[in-house]
Structure 1
Amino acid sequence: MLMSSDAESSTMRQYLAERALDEVLDRAAPILGRDTGCSPSSPTCDWMAKFPDHIKLVDMNLPGTHDAATWDYSAARQAELIKYTGPIRDSVFFRCQERSLVQASNDGIRVFDLRLGYNPGNDTIGFYHGVAMLGPTTTLQDVLYGLYNWLIAHPSETILVSINQEEGSKTLYDKKFEEILFATLNNEVGKRFWLPAAGELGTLGPARGKLVLLQRFTYRLLSSLPANPFGIHLDAKQWTPNGGDIKLIYNETPKRVAYIQDTFMPLVPPHSSADANITSKFEAVTGHLKKAMNQRSEGEVEEALYISFASAHANVDLITPNVIALGKASTAGMNERLLPWFKQNKGHRFGIVLLDFYHSQSELVEAIIGL
């Protein structure tokens, strides 16, 4: 009987491991995208390597993408999925990005806003924006494995992942959903890649090569499990709908607080122009950013995390996310207005800034980081 050598066995195991990873990345691709690598001259691909380990994450400027999984939700994609969702509004109302998660990571994005719901017909968790299902077979676990794989290649970096169940998806929320979600985040592989600290963000050093959880949901049905085994708990019940100045305590002792601006519908009268909607949103965002710049914290707050959503839509006025972000005709959008503002205020702390269609302004991510 012929026996393989140890070297041959090791090679075959490596081959099988690589093929298994390839299958996961193939399943993840509709949400994760494909990694084509970074340009050697890119200033953003590994930008965290330029910062010291001791810097607090709450003191860093972290560009992110709102509804990050929508990047491939075109009219053609919507037509493929209509058999699952039935007729819904045009795809332009749901799409908020044009770059995949791995492309965005290479571009310097370090915060992803992910919205979850059941995949149709099986007990797996997938991705939604409102009633728009973004992929019938791609699972949260597939995408997380893809992000783990990206971090292996970029060990100086960290990625913050905001997760919540998308209530607008009209999918079932039950004990099984919580069980799958908990198991996905706490499996043996996940334990190696999630920052294990609970109730704090801490400093960059321990977070390098890790994902950091921004938990925008509460385990309501799994009473035997810890409420928040790692990451920070941004309780959805404290997240004021369309709130421009939300204060959310994510740890009592010592006190750690998130200050959030999330006016996703600009506060203007019905039937206002695109310019009025964008101007209102711009003022809300920059007003909150100025608080991040000028207010270190209140009282005995140990961590003051600032989160600003630059994204928005206005249902009554039929203003879509791309109009807010990119503008309309001669009206400048949020991204065009924010770029000079960030350049003018370079050197200040902004916190987390969540964008739509960030790639429309090639220097926007660099300007937020302060490179």
Structure 2
Amino acid sequence: MQQYLADSALAEILERAAPILGRDNLNGESTLTSDWMSRFSDDTKLVDMNLPGTHDAATWDYSDARQAELIKYTGPIRPAKYFRCQERSLVQSLNDGIRVFDLRLGYNPGNDTIGLYHGTAVLGPTTTLQDVLYGLYSWLIAHPSETILVSINQEAGSNTLYDKKFEEILFATLNNDVGKKFWLSTAGGLGTLGTARGKLILLQRFTYQFLSSPPANPFGIHLDAEQWIPNGGDIKLIYNKVPKRVAYIEDTFKPLVPPNSGAEVNITSKFEVVTAHINKAMINASKPGVDEALYISFASAYADYANVKTPVTPNIMALGDASTKGMNERLMPWFKQNQGKHFGVVFLDFYHSQPGLIEAIVGF
């Protein structure tokens, strides 16, 4: 009876999480990509691995129809195509081999719980961050050889505040008794795959400001938002001083080209920036005096929408249009050509449009 109650409670949480988490149609079964980390030895350093991720991972179900349902919470905003960056749910992405999620937070309507956003778009007004995390915990129980890196920050454009209440809810969500069993408890470093199996690792893109004292047991790595240069193509963040551990980040979310340049110019510019940064990862994976060199590249982008005649949406950047190839189609042969080399973390939009892209990054 006790197990039945526990299973029923989890089922209720997963159903509430489904608008963001999705549903697991594999039911825990293993595939080539769902358990790919099992092929690597325990002593493999996570910073030495190629880890595919999804940018704005929670936007997969944000269609025009979904936006129409949620317009009562947001008021009129840009069409859904400007916010949607994915087409596969979090669970589907995990089964496809994605191991890093970019999650953006804000208050759900009512300001009593924290949910998921992209800009002004609320993505699931009754789904909480805690619901989604329980879904990730559940997936890890079924796939104990794997680890999931979760990047978390408060979405600046969400029209919700980062205040004391928000921080208290976020801290309690990450540090409850269940979370303590699943978040890797070490701080200031990523360590080895062996210590991370069956765990989540926090990429903390926020700084605690209101707690009466710093967390007694911090975990994950702190990627200080103050040092994360907006639209930066070559960001350097020291997330641990001794031993020295550094993140090298490319996050050019708006290509540095003139307005109204069109898809070809924007995509070509972004492709050159991304591949140049990954080239640095391939050449400088090990740096003198640096204990961990974590390379993070965002293949995602869009062209500025203000006063632009032909806006280049995230979908066009990733997939291209009738006249030009998108990022995913361009990256596929590039990764294959450099197979066996070090890429680091690569965040993608609409990755499923290019079959085999995840396998090419991982190195199958």
Q: TM exceeds 0.5?
A: yes
C-alpha contact (below 8 Å) 1:38/1:45 kept by paired residues: no
What amino acid is the match of 1:134? L
Cα distance, 1:330 vs structure 2: 2.5
Mark the structure with the bigger radius of gyration: 1
Structure 2 vs 1, CA of residues 225 and 335 (structure 1 numbering), >3 Å: closer, same or farther? Answer: same
Match for residue 275 of structure 1? 264
Aligned pair partner of 2:336 in 343, 349, 360: 343
Cα distance, 1:42 vs structure 2: 3.2
Q: Distance in 1 between matches of 2:352 and 2:33?
A: 13
What amino acid is the match of 1:333? G
Match for residue 360 of structure 2? 367
Gaps of 5+ in 1: 1-11
What TM-score, normalized by structure 2, do the two folds share? 0.97
List structure 1 runs of 4+ shifted beyond 4 angstroms. Answer: 38-41
Q: Distance in 2 between matches of 1:228 and 1:199?
A: 11
2:151 is the alignment partner of 1:151: no
What amino acid is the match of 2:199? K
Match for residue 4 of structure 1? none
C-alpha contact (below 8 Å) 1:67/1:129 kept by paired residues: yes
Match for residue 76 of structure 2? 87
CA displacement 1:333-361 (0-9 Å, x = unmatched): 00000000000000001000000000001
Residues 144-223 of structure 1 aligned to structure 2 (within 5 Å): 144-223=133-212
Q: Distance in 2 between matches of 1:228 and 1:296?
A: 29
Match for residue 314 of structure 2? 321
Residues 133-144 of structure 1 aligned to structure 2 (within 5 Å): 133-144=122-133
Match for residue 16 of structure 1? 5
CA displacement 1:306-344 (0-9 Å, x = unmatched): 000000011144210000000011310000000000000
What amino acid is the match of 1:191? K
What TM-score, normalized by structure 1, do the two folds share? 0.95
C-alpha contact (below 8 Å) 2:296/2:344 kept by paired residues: yes
CA displacement 1:28-60 (0-9 Å, x = unmatched): 000000000179783211000000000100000
Q: Distance in 1 between matches of 2:179 and 2:215?
A: 17
What amino acid is the match of 2:239? Y
**Structure 2 SS opposite 1:237:** coil
Out of 290-299 and 224-233, give the one that drifted further. 224-233
Structure 1 vs Structure 2: percent identity of aligned residues?
77
C-alpha contact (below 8 Å) 2:237/2:248 kept by paired residues: yes
Structure 2 vs 1, CA of residues 41 and 207 (structure 1 numbering), >3 Å: closer, same or farther? Answer: closer
Aligned pair partner of 2:282 in 277, 282, 293: 293
What amino acid is the match of 1:30? P
Gaps of 5+ in 2: none
Cα distance, 1:221 vs structure 2: 1.1
Aligned pair partner of 1:108 in 93, 97, 105: 97
Q: Distance in 1 between matches of 2:339 and 2:350?
A: 22
Cα distance, 1:297 vs structure 2: 3.7
Cα distance, 1:273 vs structure 2: 1.6
What amino acid is the match of 1:337? R
Q: Distance in 2 between matches of 1:122 and 1:243?
A: 32
Match for residue 118 of structure 2? 129
